[in-house]
Structure 1
Amino acid sequence: MIKSFVQKEYLFTIIFWFVFAIVLWCNFQTTTEVYLAMVQAVIVTACSFLFTHFLTNKLLPKALREKRMKRFLLHATLVIILLSLLFSIIFTYVELAPKNRLPENLHDQLPFLWQGFYMSLPASFLINGVSCGIKFYKEHGRIERDHILLQQAHLENQLKLLQDQINPHVVFNILNHIHILMKTNTELADFLLMKFSDILRYQLYHCNQNLVSLDKEIDYLKNLIEVEKLRWGNELNVNSTMEFQSKTAYIAPLLLVPFIENAFKYVCRLPGQTGYVKIICKEEHHTLFLYVENSYSDIPLQKKKDGTGGIGLQNVKKRLKLQYPDAHDLTIETDHLIYKVTLTLKLSEEHE
């Protein structure tokens, strides 16, 4: 691909300067002999190519990289003046000298040189201006492409870091549950271990992808909820509803986990009462609706403020901004002794 692009660049340059030389020759032969017109066209084309090549391929890219366009304008002005002087010499000694006898004294030749100089200024400015414009357009496009690639790489690194921060936290919670149950109920511990293997399999083989199918993510969430139900037992009422219609909907992996984890982590059970967690997750027409509600008090809220909790929510907010900048609506609110999270998310319709 790069080789093909370079070949096209060389072909365009050759065609441009060839056409330029033909146009000059056609213009010169109207006022001079064919041979002299050809000599002038070749010399003018060669000089123009050398000056503009130096200006557009050496000075302009360097100025763009270093962001010193004022210095480049000064250099461009000097190149235009030098090229005009060269055109003046060609005009005086290649075109006028064979037709008219020039004064032998250089001082007396200056009016002819000066005339050739100011007549050549517009042509020199036009040649260098067009060349710089074409090169600037190409360089600007290349810089924009590089900038987009850097932004994409930075985005991918950010998402990978955020996912890596989530995964160990999930694994730690499940292993801790199994460790406790192995001392009291080995059958239940064995059941949870099987659930954990499903969870770990999902994390190992699917979470490295940018998007996963919604049904796999929902199965993962069901396993997590089942683990929490068994851990809390009769001390907590858990009500979950998971519904989805589309088989082609995709979602960023582990995006919804922090909301569910946060509900179980900071659920509050007041004395004489049973705490509760309510989870509703529905998908319709590639739009996901998630509602998580749990009982709470100021104590778990204070823990989050102290920095001992809330990392998962901070991460998921960042991920939503990065991956769904204009396709999500997140609301987190408290109402008396209730903590509520509502998320509406526009899902991808195919795996990218």
Structure 2
Amino acid sequence: MARFFVLRKHTFIILFWLVFTVAIWINFQATSNGYTAVFQTFVITATSFIFTHFLTTKLLPKALRSKRMGFFLTQATLIIFALSFIYSLIFTYVKGSSDTVLPPDFSDQIPILWKGFYLALPASFLINGAACGVKFYQEHGKIERDHILLQQAHLENQLKLLQDQINPHVVFNILNHIHILMRTDTQLADYLLLKFSDILRYQLYHCNQNTVPLDKDIEHIQNLVEVEKLRWGNELDVTTIWEISSNKAFIAPLLLVTFIENAFKYVCRLPGHKGHISISCMERDKVLSFYIENSYSDVLSYKKKDGVGGIGLENVKKRLKLQYPGSHDLKIEADQNIFKVTLTLNLAEYHEYYYS
């Protein structure tokens, strides 16, 4: 692909100078003999190419990088004057006859030379202006592409930072659960350790990708929910609904983990009260509808504790803004001791946006 653009660029330049040469030759051959017209065309084309090539390939890119366009305009003006002077010499002293020589009294030709210089200015300006315009367009496009690449690299670094914040938190919680169960139920701890290996394998080998299959990410979440259910036992009432209709849907990895973690972390577990968590995750036509609610005893606990751990809803909001611009809807509500999160994701739009 890169070679195609280079070839197209060179082809355009060759065609530009070929058309320029033919146009100059047609103009000169009408007033000069054949050899003189060829000589005049060669000199003007060669000098024009050398001057404009130096201006567009050396001076203009340097001025754009250093942001010294004022100095470049001075340089371009001097080059236009120099090229106009060369044009005036050709127009004045190369006549197309056998006596093409300098006149004995050079001072008598100064008014004619000045007139040729004056008439050559528009042609010199047009040639250099057109070449600079084309080169500026190319350089500006290159700068824009570099800027887009830098923005994408910055975006990927931000996402990597946010995901790295999530992974240690999940690992810490699971290891802490297993550590507690090792003292009370070694068989259950052994089972949870196997589940933990599945969770860790997913995080190590899949979460470094931009997107992962939705069914794999949901399987990871189901493992987390199962670990939490076994951990809390009869203290919690957990209900889940999982409906994934497409095996070709993709999602950003670990995006929903924070909602699961928060629900189990802040669910009400007061004496005499059985907390409950309800999870619904459905996907149809690459549109994901995720809902989770949990009972809580103090709504402020979300605001107080969430900031202490460094992992929370603000993190998810940032990821959604970066990864799903214009294709997500997040609602967080707290009403009558029930904390609710509703999230709708257009997975198709995200997948196409990220890889376009």
Identity %: 65
Deviation at 1:320, TM superposition (A): 1.0
Residue of structure 1 equivalent to 2:228: 228
Residue of structure 1 equivalent to 2:139: 139
* Distance in 2 (alpha carbons) for counterparts of 1:76 and 1:176: 71
* Distance in 2 (alpha carbons) for counterparts of 1:112 and 1:348: 71
Deviation at 1:70, TM superposition (A): 2.7
Deviation at 1:73, TM superposition (A): 2.2
Aligned letter for 1:184? T
- CA RMSD in angstroms comes to 2.2
Deviation at 1:245, TM superposition (A): 1.2
5+ residue gaps, structure 2: none
SS in 1 for 2:32: coil
Deviation at 1:4, TM superposition (A): 5.2
TM-score normalized by structure 1? 0.92
Deviations 1:217-250 (A, max 9, x none): 1111111011111111122222221112112111
* Distance in 2 (alpha carbons) for counterparts of 1:92 and 1:47: 16
Greater CA drift, 186-195 or 2-11: 2-11
Aligned letter for 1:275? G
Residue of structure 2 equivalent to 1:106: 106
Aligned letter for 1:165? Q
SS in 1 for 2:312: helix
Provide closer, same or farther for how the CA distance between residues 182 and 329 of structure 1 changes in structure 2, counting only shifts above 3 A.
same
Aligned letter for 1:146? D
* Distance in 2 (alpha carbons) for counterparts of 1:224 and 1:246: 22
- Equivalent positions of 1:258-337 (< 5 A) are 258-296=258-296, 297-304=298-305, 307-309=307-309, 311-337=311-337
Deviations 1:109-156 (A, max 9, x none): 211111101110111111111111111121122122222222222222
* Distance in 2 (alpha carbons) for counterparts of 1:302 and 1:139: 49
Aligned letter for 1:229? K
* Distance in 2 (alpha carbons) for counterparts of 1:116 and 1:227: 90
2:31 is the counterpart of 1:31: yes
Residue of structure 1 equivalent to 2:86: 86
Greater CA drift, 295-304 or 275-284: 295-304
Contact 1:102 1:109 in 2 (8 A): no
TM-score normalized by structure 2? 0.91
* Distance in 1 (alpha carbons) for counterparts of 2:196 and 2:64: 55
Provide closer, same or farther for how the CA distance between residues 101 and 150 of structure 1 changes in structure 2, counting only shifts above 3 A.
closer
* Distance in 1 (alpha carbons) for counterparts of 2:61 and 2:241: 59
Contact 1:268 1:275 in 2 (8 A): yes
* Distance in 1 (alpha carbons) for counterparts of 2:101 and 2:53: 35
SS in 2 for 1:293: strand
Count of aligned pairs between the two proteins: 351
Residue of structure 2 equivalent to 1:210: 210
Greater CA drift, 146-155 or 39-48: 146-155
Aligned letter for 1:304? K
Deviation at 1:98, TM superposition (A): 5.7
